[in-house]
Structure 1
């Protein structure tokens, strides 16, 4: 068996692991590299293998850093099935079409900008794929229910388990038969934080011969949820009632937006916040919220109870989904009291950039950062304390308060990761630490060796291969 890491090795994006066994060749995830000026070139260089040899692909969840190059995979000649959960199928359709649309618009904007400056049109970056190509790729997606075993190829059995990260996210168990021997591979995908709002906790797995585990927050502990709630209440009080400004919340359209709506509604229900109107200014987030409500069987008990309360008291927690661009533009005219949830979560694309353009220069406003910000992104520069950023090619001063909260992460922290690993009844024969920035992954590997006494723990490099 040969394993090659085509992404999420020494970084947190571009998840793509190639497995070549005696009976099958397949991918776990096919994600896009995100953040920084090199991302486009890395995405062009990705998938540097004969994709026509693949028997199948399994998608752990819908986030673009795990799904975003699926249309490009199909463009390059892959015609086989892509297996994922039904909820992920619903979400990945929204995310991939949005990704393609953004790329097309970005390419058009670059062409217009270069034309105005007299630069040759040929230097503009074409989209990695188009909306039409994304739609074609979606015809290859097949549903796989949680906890049900299926056989995507000869000598291969698979099962998806709830990862508790976002709606439909999955841990993947794979049993491979080679030379009369069966070996079990387990891919954590992205693991959720236990006790987090909206979703159930990640399922524990008993055993694995080869384990692939994420390490996004393998170097730290998240704040407790009650501490995070205190920070949110204090920020809203300072911004809305003392300074009379706006609160701008960059949020991933899938997962984080729904969690923020839960937390804010719960704080209103408990009287810790005054009645709120929250503007969700992201067509994708609106669709993702509708999809979430269609899959109530995947939500935890407290979330279902809160939904019942909100439906009974719509005047206390109003959620307004911004439908069109004109309505979004009108929000930028609001000088005080607005709470705007908008994508993208790392501030690099979408409508959030317009809201930042109008609110960052205003000292009475606040930007609430609620999730991981990859190196090279605008969100990361804000978190790191930049006092001047560029938006739409123009310098924009940062005078608004930048507040980062850690208790709502969709990723397990170090303690939760160790807790999940502790569910294995014996150490895996080999463990690969991935989906973490290089220093974080290395540190977490050391922690696993020391605290769990696991010996075969490795941190792969990009494009590194291992033969087992």
Structure 2
């Protein structure tokens, strides 16, 4: 069989890996949006293969850098099934529909500059796909539970292994028979970390001959010492109790917001802080929280134990889920100390920009980042310490306090990634391919694994590897 990495090679976004068997059966593992091509979304439709020739797609989890180009694949001729876990199918539908809204917004902004040619010669930027393409994509989803071997055909078997990171996220473990010989290859997708508030720990991967592993945090480890609850309690006490101010937390709607709400629930339930109003201002967060409740049995043991003893992890006194835009605007008129959780996490669009617009010049406001902010985003500029930022067509001085913690990161760090490999039976593991990481991260992880005696390849885009 042959492995070709067509995305997330020496970069984090755009995961897309093609596995071709000896009889030319083609399986695409993930089909993510390449953010590095986001200045012109049409570049994402330049597939290096004919979408109509792909027999099957495997989706490891719902995040857009893994799922976001599926509707384009369908629009351009893919007619097969898309296999994933049930939560992944439900969360992907939310995220893909939201992507349509983002594309439409960008297209509308582009029309204002209709007379200006772009670098590629085009005058307008059409949406990469529409709602109907998302609906056609969702219709192709076939869901499979965790740890249940699924026979794709006479020579290929697939098993989804839970890896944390996001509700429904899975490693894809294949058993493939060629010329009477069984070969095994496992794609990790994105690997989570242990003791995450809402998610179970990643499960040990089965014996495999070839491992295609993410390397996002290669060379970096998460902060040690304080717990999530300790960091939150200290921040809230200073900002909302002592200074009687407001705490704004930009958070991705799916995954990060639920972990944050559950952590706050534990803090207030223990009486560690006086009652403080908490606003969750994100329509997608409201919808995705319902999916988390539906798949309660897949949440962490801690989360399930809390439910048994205290009830809904995602509901408590003084917690308000903001439903509509009118209510969102009213939050700005709430002058008591409060916590506002809103998306998007990198501050690029969404209701969070309204809250920033009204609070960035507030000396009694703290903005706490709990996730990664890519270069060029408003979040990145604030974390960099820019004294003036541009929000909603205005330049505003930054008087609010800017803080950050990595304790809510849902990615395993360098040590977690190394341990993931070490837990696999070394007598069967022939080769490790690293993907989904910047060059420096891939190299740092490759160096550690090589020192430990593993055969490691930092995958290159477009290179075909014979297995």
TM-score (structure 1 length as normaliser): 0.92
Cα shift at 1:315: 9.2
> Could you give the per-residue CA deviations for residues 345-376 of structure 1, whole angstroms, max 9, x where no partner exists?
22223222222222223232111111222333
Alignment of 1:186-265 (within 5 A): 186-224=186-224, 226-265=226-265
Quick one: distance in 1 between partners of 2:331 and 2:92? 28
> Could you give the per-residue CA deviations for residues 276-333 of structure 1, whole angstroms, max 9, x where no partner exists?
3321111111111000000111012211232355548999643221111111122233
Moved more, 353-362 or 8-17: 353-362
Residue pair 1:218, 1:443 contacting (<8 A) in 2 also? yes
Cα shift at 1:225: 7.2
Query: For residue 50 of structure 1, what is the aligned residue in structure 2?
Result: 50
Residue pair 1:37, 1:376 contacting (<8 A) in 2 also? no
Quick one: distance in 1 between partners of 2:212 and 2:249? 33
Q: Secondary structure at the match of 1:6?
A: strand
Go from structure 1 to structure 2 and tell me whether the alpha carbon gap of 1:304 and 1:315 turns closer, same or farther (over 3 Å shift).
closer
Go from structure 1 to structure 2 and tell me whether the alpha carbon gap of 1:379 and 1:35 turns closer, same or farther (over 3 Å shift).
farther
Query: For residue 438 of structure 2, what is the aligned residue in structure 1?
Result: 437
Asked if 1:16 corresponds to 2:53, the answer is no
Q: Secondary structure at the match of 1:320?
A: strand
Residue pair 1:187, 1:212 contacting (<8 A) in 2 also? yes
Cα shift at 1:463: 2.8
Residue pair 1:310, 1:317 contacting (<8 A) in 2 also? no
Quick one: distance in 1 between partners of 2:160 and 2:371? 26
Go from structure 1 to structure 2 and tell me whether the alpha carbon gap of 1:75 and 1:41 turns closer, same or farther (over 3 Å shift).
closer
Quick one: distance in 2 between partners of 1:109 and 1:449? 48
Quick one: distance in 2 between partners of 1:69 and 1:313? 33
Is there any run of 5+ residues in structure 2 with no aligned partner, and where? none
Quick one: distance in 1 between partners of 2:227 and 2:386? 26
> Could you give the per-residue CA deviations for residues 36-62 of structure 1, whole angstroms, max 9, x where no partner exists?
8646364243x2211111110000001
Quick one: distance in 2 between partners of 1:347 and 1:88? 24
Moved more, 237-246 or 219-228: 219-228
Cα shift at 1:411: 0.6
Cα shift at 1:193: 0.5
Go from structure 1 to structure 2 and tell me whether the alpha carbon gap of 1:457 and 1:120 turns closer, same or farther (over 3 Å shift).
closer
Q: Secondary structure at the match of 1:123?
A: coil
Go from structure 1 to structure 2 and tell me whether the alpha carbon gap of 1:225 and 1:98 turns closer, same or farther (over 3 Å shift).
farther
Residue pair 1:275, 1:315 contacting (<8 A) in 2 also? no
Q: Secondary structure at the match of 1:22?
A: coil
Moved more, 217-226 or 71-80: 217-226
Q: Secondary structure at the match of 1:18?
A: strand
Residue pair 2:62, 2:92 contacting (<8 A) in 1 also? yes
Residue pair 2:167, 2:292 contacting (<8 A) in 1 also? yes
Q: Secondary structure at the match of 1:249?
A: strand
> Could you give the per-residue CA deviations for residues 181-230 of structure 1, whole angstroms, max 9, x where no partner exists?
22111111111101111111111023211101111112222124744433
Alignment of 1:219-368 (within 5 A): 219-224=219-224, 226-308=226-308, 310-311=310-311, 317-368=317-368
Go from structure 1 to structure 2 and tell me whether the alpha carbon gap of 1:257 and 1:314 turns closer, same or farther (over 3 Å shift).
closer
Q: Secondary structure at the match of 1:330?
A: helix
> Could you give the per-residue CA deviations for residues 57-103 of structure 1, whole angstroms, max 9, x where no partner exists?
00000111110111011011001000000111111111111111221
Residue pair 1:36, 1:377 contacting (<8 A) in 2 also? no
Is there any run of 5+ residues in structure 1 with no aligned partner, and where? none
Asked if 1:462 corresponds to 2:461, the answer is yes
Cα shift at 1:35: 6.0
Query: For residue 407 of structure 1, what is the aligned residue in structure 2?
Result: 407
Query: For residue 418 of structure 2, what is the aligned residue in structure 1?
Result: 418
Alignment of 1:63-102 (within 5 A): 63-102=63-102
Go from structure 1 to structure 2 and tell me whether the alpha carbon gap of 1:92 and 1:78 turns closer, same or farther (over 3 Å shift).
same
Q: Secondary structure at the match of 1:367?
A: strand
Residue pair 1:353, 1:391 contacting (<8 A) in 2 also? yes
Moved more, 75-84 or 301-310: 301-310
Moved more, 163-172 or 178-187: 178-187
Go from structure 1 to structure 2 and tell me whether the alpha carbon gap of 1:300 and 1:104 turns closer, same or farther (over 3 Å shift).
same
Quick one: distance in 1 between partners of 2:314 and 2:409? 27
> Could you give the per-residue CA deviations for residues 368-403 of structure 1, whole angstroms, max 9, x where no partner exists?
111222333332232232333333343333322121
Moved more, 391-400 or 165-174: 391-400
Quick one: distance in 2 between partners of 1:269 and 1:39? 47
TM-score (structure 2 length as normaliser): 0.93
Q: Secondary structure at the match of 1:447?
A: helix
Go from structure 1 to structure 2 and tell me whether the alpha carbon gap of 1:322 and 1:86 turns closer, same or farther (over 3 Å shift).
same
RMSD, aligned α-carbons: 2.3
Query: For residue 170 of structure 1, what is the aligned residue in structure 2?
Result: 170
Quick one: distance in 2 between partners of 1:443 and 1:314? 38
> Could you give the per-residue CA deviations for residues 414-452 of structure 1, whole angstroms, max 9, x where no partner exists?
1222222121111621111111121111111111112x3
Quick one: distance in 2 between partners of 1:77 and 1:15? 19
Residue pair 1:172, 1:189 contacting (<8 A) in 2 also? yes
